[in-house]
Amino acid sequence: MNLEDGKISLAEQFENIIASGNKSEIKAFLDDQNISDVVELVYEYPEYATQIIANMSMHRAVNVFKLLETTEQKNIIQQLAPSYTAALLNELPADDRTDFLEELPANAVRELIKLLDPEERKVTLSLLGYPENSIGRLMNPDYVYVYPHNTVEEVFDTIRKYGKNSEAINVIYVINQAGELLDDIRIGEFILSDPGTKVSELMDERVISLKAYDDQESASEIFKMNNRVALPVVSESNKLLGIVTIDDILWVATEEYSEDMQKMGGTQAFGEPYLDIPLFQLFKKRILWLVVLFLGEMLTATAMAFFEDEIARAVVLTLFIPLIISSGGNSGSQASTLIIQAMAVGEVTTRDWWRVMRREIVSGLLLGTVLGIIGFLRIFIYHSIAPHLYGEHWLLLALTIGFTLIGVVLWGTLSGSMLPLLLKKLGADPAVSSAPFVATLVDVTGLVIYFTIAYLLLNGTML
């Protein structure tokens, strides 16, 4: 790497220190860097990843480890000494540890759980007991709680005693003797209150909480609507179980976005980085939808065979088939992408189906009319240049193309917008109504619309 302002770059410094083999120098260097810079070093020098983690102070090693991709975490754990692995796993926040363990095979999980301290083992097994993709899997059981009868002074004593183990102490949770959640109070309110003030005097009981068995995606919207950095997680009986922090929700949002993008592209969700997934596994993820789409496109050939006589009498109709089906497919894909994205961010729900349909009817008519006019003008201009190209019935042909484009685009926007809402209503993932799927559906129906209009307008002339 190049010198910048007379200083050696971070990567060059790292290479020099690693080459020296002096562990104390390596540790001092790594502990002096920003966590994000160390993470970049791990990815830039994967062969030294284990050495990097093992030569840092445990607290910093944990912060680096939990920011790494699962594949890199697995490689590091496989090469670390058992004693250091135990220390690292015990120091990891319970929710991050659970995220890591749930990505491993069952036999590996059993061996690693044996390395945990009894209390951490109990917490981890509890979190792993919640369904996959539930909020309970994200939950951190380390939080600060107080009782209504406590004073502000006692609250700060509690924070000093237990706060170091909590991931977020900017919010203090109030429970009763039965462990039921009563309120959550920002730490700023305690700071500004008299030391003798009781917690009950600060409570407004307008607490917002998550349910442990709810889906992780539901938490994202609650965080966004309430502008929170942490939210409590309760059981069905309102017992406080733990907290979920915004960094976990951002991670979930990123994972869900990646899955939705893969599904919208016409594949199954990968669940791991593209370059790490085995080739045969990648094949299996992609082949199913390709076969489904291929079988769907076979219906296009069936539709054309049904109108074989019309095609034989007016071969010119075949010239416009790619134009018709691509316009319908594009409009359908466009509409489905817009609706899926709107549903993902909470702008549209299944209750809005009628509003969506009305908007798409108007949009489809407007879009189809514009394309229909262009299609009409295309035939008009070509006929002006070469009158023999479309024959004496060119005007009827132009009208056929124009009206067909209006119908096909209208149908494409309607099917593309309604299919995600229908799938959501049925409990399926709207992302599976991917652009290729909608395009295939509209291809088949577009041909039916095309030849039906052609028969109505050209019967007795070209047909």
Which residues are 210's β-sheet partners? Answer: 233
Which tens digit of pLDDT belongs to each residue from 189-226?
999 999 999 999 999 878 889 988 888 877 877 887 78
Name the fold adopted by 279-458. Answer: Tetracycline Repressor; domain 2 (1.10.357)
Per the CB < 8 A criterion, the answer to whether 436 and 267 are in contact is: no
pLDDT at 374: 94
Share of residues in the chain with pLDDT > 70 (%): 88
Name the fold adopted by 145-245. Answer: CBS-domain (3.10.580)
pLDDT at 261: 64
Q: Average pLDDT, whole number, for the chain?
A: 82
Which tens digit of pLDDT belongs to each residue from 39-62?
999 888 888 889 899 888 888 999
Which tens digit of pLDDT belongs to each residue from 115-140?
888 778 777 877 777 887 788 888 88
pLDDT at 365: 94
**Residue 70: pLDDT over 90:** no
How large is the average pLDDT for residues 359-377? Answer: 93
Name the fold adopted by 10-129. Answer: MgtE N-terminal fold (1.25.60)
**Residue 96: pLDDT over 50:** yes
pTM: 0.55
The amino acid at residue 129 is G
pLDDT band of 282, cuts 50, 70, 90: low
Domain with CATH 1.25.60.10 in the chain: 10-129
User: Which range has the top average pLDDT, 21-35, 154-168, 174-188, 414-428?
Assistant: 174-188
Which tens digit of pLDDT belongs to each residue from 319-328?
888 888 888 8
Encoded tokens for 94: 């319970």
Give the angle 123-127-129 at the CA atoms, nearest 5°.
120
pLDDT band of 305, cuts 50, 70, 90: confident
Whole-angstrom Cα distance, residue 336 to residue 341? Answer: 8
Domain with CATH 1.10.357.20 in the chain: 279-458
pLDDT at 146: 92
Domain with CATH 3.10.580.10 in the chain: 145-245
pLDDT at 3: 38
Query: Between β-strands 230-234 and 240-245, what pairing exists: parallel, antiparallel or unpaired?
Result: antiparallel
**Residue 149: pLDDT over 90:** yes
pLDDT at 2: 43
**Residue 399: pLDDT over 50:** yes
Whole-angstrom Cα distance, residue 210 to residue 189? Answer: 23
Contacts of range 374-381, beta carbons closer than 8 Å, 24 or more positions apart: 375/320, 375/323, 375/401, 375/402, 375/405, 376/401, 376/402
The contacts of residue 289 (CB under 8 Å, 6+ apart) are 266, 267, 268, 434, 436, 437
Encoded tokens for 396: 């009827």
The contacts of residue 355 (CB under 8 Å, 6+ apart) are none
How large is the average pLDDT for residues 24-36? Answer: 87
pLDDT at 137: 82
More confident residue, 187 or 250: 187
Helix (H, G, I), strand (E, B) or coil at 7: strand
Share of residues in the chain with pLDDT > 90 (%): 18
How large is the average pLDDT for residues 418-433? Answer: 78
